[in-house]
């Protein structure tokens, strides 16, 4: 059974880098054309797509975060990771990792991790 | 970037009711519109993809339709477990974007 599990610090200081890892079990992160993505949700607000990665290392990012977001993959550990640099209070959110597959065009998020709350505060 | 707008922002209904949610894209997205259900403290769950395809194991009381810029999600007969927030998401172009959600509450 496919499971995704986010891990990382729950508290990050302003101006520092937020780093999270998503561990995948029940599926190979190197599966074909599947993408692995990060989505976040500030408390009480809507979902925001941050980016996707393919196991080859090809990435797709949301330009709204400019160049602050980096997503990487470690196929040997069946994990992928998220870094958000120069964080502010506006980056406080529940961060979800997800598995995305393409249905004809684009990518749809069919499996999600449980999410992890990251608070940015000094 | 494509903006997604959902209406209404909240909706009150009773068990057994038929309810419809609306999602509008700021430009045509063909059929590449997906619907998710989110319950408090939980991750979103995919219900419908590419406008009208029912995700595996999702009850058949859920259905979706639409093309271009206007889409709907319908629940034919509300069940107690359906009270949640519903989000639409376009997968037509990057950056993928979500609507602001419609919260379905018990009347």
**Length in residues, chain A:** 122
Lookup: tokens for A51 = 């980016």
Q: What is the pLDDT of residue A103?
A: 82
With a pLDDT cut of 90, the percent of chain B lying above it is 98
**Length in residues, chain B:** 107
CA distance B34 to A20: 26
Calculate how close chain A gets to B24, using CA atoms only, in Å.
Answer: 16
Grade residue B28 by pLDDT with cuts at 50, 70 and 90: very high
pLDDT truncated to tens, each residue of chain A (122 aa)? 999 999 999 999 999 999 999 999 999 999 888 999 999 999 999 999 999 999 999 999 999 997 999 999 999 999 999 999 999 999 999 999 999 998 888 899 999 999 999 999 99
pLDDT at B22 over 90: yes
CA distances from A8 to A5, A22, B24 (A): 10, 9, 36
DSSP B51: T
Mutation to test the A interface, candidates B6, B48, B94, B99, most A Cβ within 10 Å: B94
Q: What is the pLDDT of residue A31?
A: 83
Q: Which of A90, A93, A122 is nearest to A6 (CA)?
A: A93
Cβ neighbors of A8 (< 8 A, separation 6 or more) are: A18, A19, A20, A21, A116, A118
Rounded average pLDDT over B5-12 = 96
- Is B92 within 8 Å of A115 when comparing Cβ atoms? no
Question: Which chain B residues have a beta carbon less than 8 Å from that of A106?
Answer: 32, 90-93, 96
Phi-psi region of A33 (alpha: psi -120 to 50; beta: other; left: phi over 0): alpha
């Amino acid at each position: 059974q496919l499971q995704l599990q986010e891990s990382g610090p729950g508290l990050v200081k302003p101006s520092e880098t937020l780093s999270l890892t998503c561990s995948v079990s029940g599926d190979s992160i190197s599966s074909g054309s599947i993408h692995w993505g990060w989505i976040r949700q500030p408390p009480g607000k809507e979902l925001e797509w941050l980016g996707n990665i393919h196991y080859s290392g090809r990435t797709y990012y949301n330009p709204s975060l400019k160049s602050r977001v980096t997503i990487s993959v470690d196929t040997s550990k069946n994990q992928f990771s998220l870094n958000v640099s120069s964080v502010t209070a506006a980056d406080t959110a529940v961060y979800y990792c997800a598995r995305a597959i393409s249905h004809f065009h684009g990518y749809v998020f069919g499996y999600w991790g449980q999410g992890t709350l990251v608070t940015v505060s000094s | 970037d494509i903006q997604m707008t959902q209406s209404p922002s909240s909706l009150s209904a009773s068990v057994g009711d038929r309810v419809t949610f609306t999602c509008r894209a700021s430009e045509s997205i063909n059929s590449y519109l997906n619907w998710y259900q989110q319950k408090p403290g939980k991750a979103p769950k995919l219900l419908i993809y590419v406008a009208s395809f029912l995700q595996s194991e999702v009850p058949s009381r859920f259905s979706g339709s639409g093309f271009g810029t206007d889409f709907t999600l319908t629940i034919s007969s509300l069940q107690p477990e359906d009270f949640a927030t519903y989000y639409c998401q376009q997968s037509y172009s990057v950056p993928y974007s979500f609507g602001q959600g419609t919260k379905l509450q018990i009347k």
